[in-house]
Structure formats: structure tokens, C-alpha cells
A and B are shown apart, each in its own frame.
Chain A
Amino acid sequence: MFWLVEERGRGEFPWSERFGRVAVDRRWHAAGAGPAVLYDRGEGRSVVAVPLPFFAAEQPLAAGADFKDGALECHVDRAAKFRELPVWQVDVRDAFGPKRTLLVDTSGPLVRSVTERLTMGRGEPYELKLEFAGSEQLTGENLSATVKAIDRLTVLRGKLGLPSQSQEVAWKPEQLELLGGQLPGVSEAAVATSLEKLAATAARDLQLQSGRKDALAELGMKSVGREVDDFTMTGSAGESLRRQDLPGHVTVLHFWDYRDEPLKEPYGQVGYLDFLHHKRKSAGVQIFGVAVDGRLADDKTRAAAERSVRKLKSFMNLSYPVVLDTSGVLKQFGDPRLVGASLPLFVVIGSDGKVAHYHAGHYDVHQDQGLKELDAAVSAALEKK
């Protein structure tokens, strides 16, 4: 079964996660990850699996019939209508109680409407509704064009090597190159098919991310080699970092929001950074987290932001100090958010007080070597010491 999802409101998956193929067993259960949407609750995001609207039973459906579907208990409540079409209303329960209500075509496996109860976050109740909107018979050229577009998009996504259900995607240079070479052909194949809009979204994303990559490279070029201006930053537990503390040390600054919620993997890569701190502190390398949080600028919300930093630091068991950027210190190094990129920003300052390395976003992680690229930049700065 091929599926395609278009989301509106409360977050959305990147284009690469909005389509797929899913095998179904003879009971129409998805074997593997099927369609899903992303729901931003404000304090975190949840992946909501969308049920496939098909239904099978191994006995005739009739009002009052009860049967099991694996761990689910099904009860045919009554004959009903969905827009004048005869349907069976089937109530499905799991071990926790009512799970979903289906309106199933009396003439086939198609489900016209699904109402499903679900929970997200800390058990908050939500409801998913799915309602049949229409069908179309694809024929001839349109059918073969659709199949070709699906195949090409699927192959392209495979080559991109993304983890399943990636919630954010920042393309690496080699991925941008791959997309640049292949997306025009995919877009052409998708013209006049249901995938045309998705292909256009992918093309726009490519354009945006290519521009961002160039802008970030420019920010990095401006920053590296520059002498650091005067600044003072303090932390809520007495930590302190001033411009005059830099000479004679290699210093790593890790600008990130340092909020305890919403917490999203890979948590700004603070775990790896802490590992680096332990590894390099004997060589005199200073590592400072720098909390960048709009709430720090407002007296009314500053305490909440500081509390959030402390909770995160404790939760992640961080041993390196975290100071607060209350005066826009990030700007002098080149704020990646100004060109549409996200924190964290890693900056290495040499013992001469000049920026030696600038990296916006997450590093590729090497399981055995942690933040290998950052470690190499630190090594290079130590050699110059």
C-alpha cells in the first residue's frame, strides 16, 4: 500500500517522511511503520500513527456480532449510513477500554470513518478522526506516472539514508548534492500526479537549505580568525566567563537553549560534549555551555529560564559549567538563527583569543569517537598553544 500525508497545523514531518509504502497482512494490519503525523503539543512532539482505513473479519458482519482481532475486541454495534452508503458501525476495544469506532463498508474492506482515542505526553487524551473524502481511478499514463514518481521518491529517500520518522532534517553537503542532482527528475516525474505537491515542497526545501548552507558558511568564514570582543557571562550557580579568561586556554563555547522542556534528541549533543570535557580538561581546555533563551532578557521570566537550565544540567548530569547569555554575546560569533538555521552553535576559541572553529547544528557522531570533528578542532587549537 502506498500512502501520502499532507499536514496542517501543530508541526509536520519533513517532506521525506510524508510518504511511504507499507505491507499489510491479510487482516489489513500494517506490517511496519505506516502513515503517521507529527503533533506538536507545545511541550514536546508526538508521532501519531494513522490507522489504515481497511477492515477484515473472518466471520460475517451483523448487528450484535462480537469477535476478536488479535488483542482487540470488536463489536458490530449496528447498521448505519455514511453519506447514504450502508456501513456497519464497529466498536473496537483494547485492554484499556474503547479504542476506536469504525464505519465499515458493507460491501468491502474499506472503512469510511475512523474515530480513535489516543493519549500523548503524560497521558493527555486526544482524538484522531479519519473520514473518507473521495476516490479516483487512475488509468493509463497517469497511473504509470504515479508509480514512477513513487518509485523515484522512494529510491531517492533510500539514498539519503535518513533514520525512520526523522522529525527534523538538516541536509548535509553530500545530501544537498544528491538532492540537487536528482530532485529535478523526480519533480518532472511527479507532474500531474498526487505527488506533485510533495515534490514541489522538496524542491523548495532544497533551495532553502542550500541557501542556508551558503549563509552559514559565510557566517563561519566571518567568525573564524576574528578576535573575540569583550564580554562577561555568568551562571546561576556562580559560574563566570569573561573575555579576559580566554588567553592561555583553548575554550569551547556551546550556545544552545539549555531548556529542560521540550527536550528533543540529540539534546544539543551535550552528553558528547560532557565526555569531551572530561577527556580534555587535564589539557587545560575550558568548555562552557551558554544558555540562549529569550526568557533571560525579561525580569519576569528570567527565573523560570534559569530554573530550566539548572534542571537540564542536573537531568543530563553535566559537569561543565553553563553560563547565561543575557546580553547577546551569541551575535558577535554569528547567530545561525539569523539565516534560518538552529542552535546549537559550537565555537572553539584558541589560546590567542581568536575564533578557531565555528560549527552550527549537530555534528555527525562517531560512536567510538564522539564529536570527532570538534575534538579535532580542539586538538588543532591545542597544538597552536
Chain B
Amino acid sequence: MFQVLVCAALAPLVIAADAPLGVGTQWTYHGTVESRAADSAQGGKSFDLTLAPDTQRRRR
């Protein structure tokens, strides 16, 4: 069984072994890619990313 250990006092994150992410949970993220050049007239790009733990395969 995968496990995440969380120490509450300092709220640290310790990965003791592979961590579980709830089966069936689906996360969505909004992303952008833009030029950092000061003189850039380029419009940027945006995207949405959906992620879900694979219910078919275990983490390696």
C-alpha cells in the first residue's frame, strides 16, 4: 500500500514510499506559455491540463 506521511506540527512532507492519489480524483490545471522578452509583441498560449491517477497501472 502506498503511503504519505505527514508530520502535523511543521506540516512537512515526507515521502516514505510511493504516495497514493485518490483513485477517481481528477485534477485540472490552467496553464500559459508566454515570451519573457521585454520587446516581445507575441501573444501567448494557454492550455488546460487534466490529470488523473491511472486506475489501470501502479506507479513504478
Contact = CB atoms under 8 A, between A and B. Distances in A.
Contact of A37 (B21, B22, B33): B33
Interface in A317-372: none
B27 A110 contact: yes
Given A1-B53, A1-B54, A129 B32 contact: yes
Interface residues of A, number: 68
Nearest to A117: B36
B4 A25 contact: no
A61 B35 contact: no
Contacts of A58: 14-15
Contacts of B57: 21, 23
B37 interface: yes
Interface string B9-37: 01111110111011111111111111111
A135 B59 contact: no
Contacts of A147: 55-56
Nearest to A41: B42
Given A35-B49, A124-B35, A131-B29, A9 B15 contact: no
B51 A52 contact: yes
Given A117-B36, A128-B31, A109 B21 contact: yes
Contacts of B46: 7-9
A238 interface: no
Contacts of A377: none
Given A37-B31, A60-B10, A151-B56, 10 more contacts: A35-B49, A60-B7, A60-B14, A62-B12, A105-B13, A110-B27, A117-B36, A130-B31, A130-B49, A136-B25
Interface of B: 4, 6-7, 10-15, 17-19, 21-37, 42-57, 59-60
Interface of A: 1-11, 21, 23-27, 31, 35, 37, 39, 41-42, 48, 50, 52-62, 79, 86, 88, 104-110, 117, 124-139, 143, 146-147, 151, 194
